[in-house]
Amino acid sequence: MPTVRHRIVLRFAPEVTGEPVICKVTKDYDLDFNILRAEIGPDKEGRMVLDLIGKEESYRAAAKYLRDRKISVHPLDDGIHLDLERCVHCGACVGVCRAEALTLCRETMRVQLDASKCEACGECDPACPVNAIELALELGR
């Protein structure tokens, strides 16, 4: 079975942030992980963006394990949408996107989005002067 990569957003209810869930995911499900972003504190709702790398079957089992613990799991690809009808290609979003998911095509100087690179930092939406970027609710701040 080939190795797959899933970039996902996890949301933790305050009561589960004490559990070592990521450790369990790697150990028990044999998945590699790369944390892109984490906002987790004691007694607070937490949010984490990470890549999980491994077998598809293992990923599914791990996702079920997380969901069973009331942790929401969302693929990040669905998380960001650029409305090209509204976008004026001013590039304000490009200036704040450290992940280089939003870039300017140097040929045409048009904004382009590679959602698979998005790290869900949430900076682009408020930086857009014409409200052309929509972040899914679980990514918004």
Instruction: Quickly list H helices, the chain.
Output: 21-29, 56-68, 92-96, 124-127
Nearer to other proteins, 46 or 91 (CB): 91
Contact status, residue 2 vs residue 38, Cβ threshold 8 Å: no
Per CB under 8 A, 53 contacts other proteins: no
| CB of residue 108 to other proteins, shortest distance in Å | 6
According to CB under 8 A, which residues from 78 to 137 bind other proteins? Answer: 88-96, 103-104, 106, 108-110, 123, 126-127, 129-131
Residue where the block lists tokens 């992980």: 33
Nearer to other proteins, 9 or 97 (CB): 97
Q: How far apart are CA 11 and CA 8, in angstroms?
A: 10
How many C-beta neighbours within 10 Å does residue 55 have? 15
Sites of contact with other proteins (CB under 8 A): 88-96, 103-104, 106, 108-110, 123, 126-127, 129-131
